[in-house]
Amino acid sequence: MIGNSPGPAPSTPSPDLLDAPGEAARPPAPAPPRPAPPPGSSTSSGDEFYALLAEPAPDPFLQGGSGEGAAPAAPEPTGPAMPAGPEPRADHAGGPDPDGLPAPFLAPPPSTDNGIDLPVVFTPPPDSPPSPASHAAAAAAAYPDQGANPDAEDPAEMAPVRWRSLLLASYASAVTLALIWILWTGRGLRPTPATAEPAGEARAVDRGNSFEGLIAKPSPPLPPGNIVALGSTARLGGLEVVPSRITLGEARLERLEGTMDEFREVADVLILRLRLRNLSEAQAFAPLEAAFARDSGLADDGTYIETADGRRIPMYRLAVESEWSFPDQPFTTLKPGAQADTVLVSQPVRDADLAGPFTWHVKLRTEPYRTDVLGVRFQASDIRR
């Protein structure tokens, strides 16, 4: 085995010596010989390229002519030169082989002694997704006033929207306060207009002779057991009926709802007075109902006055649920054995229509679930004035 001959160890001069006065710049040391490439290898490999970058030779463009700043020459070795072998890679220890990596991912070369660092830019593959950092940097460069958020709205563009929202909120607040004030004070609410009374009830307001034409419709005959004269007693099922008298004159109408103590007088009407008695032992019912007493006279089983010439005089026309009523015409429910007096009022009639005989058809409830019609016969002479 052949070793190196003993000799002085190579030493690197101190950088401070270059600044000493009178010190001349030493010429650069010659580069050590590079080993020949192995057979079959390419001279343009990555190892050769990095070996060239690792040489300490200064940049010829930075030396000038005075030699100031040149690197000191290294002492030449005194012993016989050893055959140069491949130098170990510092960045290859414990890592992957850089020859197998693409050029953009190779480690940067070490810094040279002339103080110049070569920047190396790592370019990612074209198929790799962009990183969030690069996206943020591009956004910051494109939108310098908005930072890294290109989606932020321009304050100038948001101003009209804010004004519209402000106006809408102000209007809604004003309407809400006005509504609260109206509900709190009760002002601004118009009273509900009074409902106009039906045409049939208009006669109750004006006193006078308001005559309507009689209904020209023949009436079916009544059973003989249902026909009675004035002052006689009739029994229909569980009801006893006594028609006492008939008068021609005025009737009083009172208003049950609205203004108190309001009444009207209707004239030239026929009034039939009845006494009703419940003969049932256990059932209570109302013999006279509003629908019976305010009949229009069109139904054959209704309440009306049949004239001698076959026409009909209907009852005083009121709505079934009218707020006007005759005080002498109650619609009470009779308990077993109880009795009550009531009246039936016709529409205004003329003297020419009072040529008898007459039959007053009276529809009554004789049992809780049964109705019947009573016929009261009378003459014109039976009418009291």
Report the 10 Å Cβ neighbour count for 275: 14
Q: Of 205, 194, 285, which is closest to residue 238 (Cα–Cα)?
A: 285
* Phi, psi torsion values for 339, nearest 5 degrees: -140, 160
Q: Is 272 exposed, middle or buried (0-12, 13-18, 19+ CB in 10 A)?
A: buried
Q: Which two tokens stand for residue 373?
A: 């019609």
> What's the average model confidence in pLDDT over 298-302?
90
Q: Is residue 153 part of a domain?
A: no
Do residues 252 and 291 lie in contact, with contact meaning Cβ atoms separated by under 8 Å?
A: no
The pLDDT of residue 209 is: 43
Report the 10 Å Cβ neighbour count for 10: 11
Q: Is residue 50 part of a domain?
A: no
How far apart (Å, rounded) are the C-alpha atoms in residues 353 and 63?
148
pLDDT tens digit sequence for 172-216: 999 999 888 888 876 655 544 444 444 344 344 444 445 667 888
> What's the average model confidence in pLDDT over 251-261?
77
Assign 1 a pLDDT band (cuts: 50, 70, 90).
very low
> What's the average model confidence in pLDDT over 2-27?
49
Do residues 358 and 333 lie in contact, with contact meaning Cβ atoms separated by under 8 Å?
A: no
How far apart (Å, rounded) are the C-alpha atoms in residues 355 and 49?
144
Q: How far does Cα 131 stand from its chain's mean position? A: 43
Please name the residue that has the structure tokens 């004030």: 181
Residue scoring higher pLDDT (384 or 207): 384
Assign 68 a pLDDT band (cuts: 50, 70, 90).
very low
With a CB cutoff of 8 Å and minimum separation 6, the contacts of 221 are none
Please name the residue that has the structure tokens 């102000």: 170
pLDDT tens digit sequence for 345-374: 999 999 888 888 999 999 999 999 999 999
The secondary structure of the chain in percent helix, strand, coil, rounded to multiples of 5, reads 25, 20, 55
The pLDDT of residue 146 is: 52
Q: Is residue 348 part of a domain?
A: yes
The pLDDT of residue 26 is: 55
Q: Which two tokens stand for residue 222?
A: 């009544």
How far apart (Å, rounded) are the C-alpha atoms in residues 174 and 154?
31
Residue scoring higher pLDDT (346 or 128): 346
Q: Is residue 313 part of a domain?
A: yes
Q: Is residue 308 part of a domain?
A: yes
pLDDT tens digit sequence for 205-230: 444 445 667 888 889 999 999 999 99
The CATH number of residue 279's host domain is 2.60.40.1240
The pLDDT of residue 208 is: 41
The pLDDT of residue 385 is: 85
Among the residue ranges 98-102, 165-169, 374-378, the one predicted with the least confidence is 98-102
Q: Is residue 39 part of a domain?
A: no
Q: Which DSSP state fits 54? A: T
With a CB cutoff of 8 Å and minimum separation 6, the contacts of 363 are 292, 295, 301, 302, 303, 371, 372, 373
The pLDDT of residue 19 is: 45
> What's the average model confidence in pLDDT over 233-250?
94
Which H or E run includes 248? strand 239-255
> What's the average model confidence in pLDDT over 323-331?
90
State the chain's mean pLDDT as an integer: 71
Q: In this model, does residue 282 exceed pLDDT 50?
A: yes
Q: Of 228, 231, 224, 344, which is closest to residue 287 (Cα–Cα)?
A: 344
Q: Which DSSP state fits 174? A: H
Please name the residue that has the structure tokens 């009121």: 318
Structural domain of residue 231, as residue ranges? 221-384
The pLDDT of residue 71 is: 47
Q: Is residue 22 part of a domain?
A: no
Report the 10 Å Cβ neighbour count for 224: 7
Do residues 234 and 374 lie in contact, with contact meaning Cβ atoms separated by under 8 Å?
A: yes
> What's the average model confidence in pLDDT over 59-87?
49
Q: Which two tokens stand for residue 197?
A: 């009374």
pTM beyond cutoff 0.85? no
The domain tally of the chain equals 1
Q: Is residue 83 part of a domain?
A: no
Q: Of 238, 321, 307, 249, which is closest to residue 279 (Cα–Cα)?
A: 238
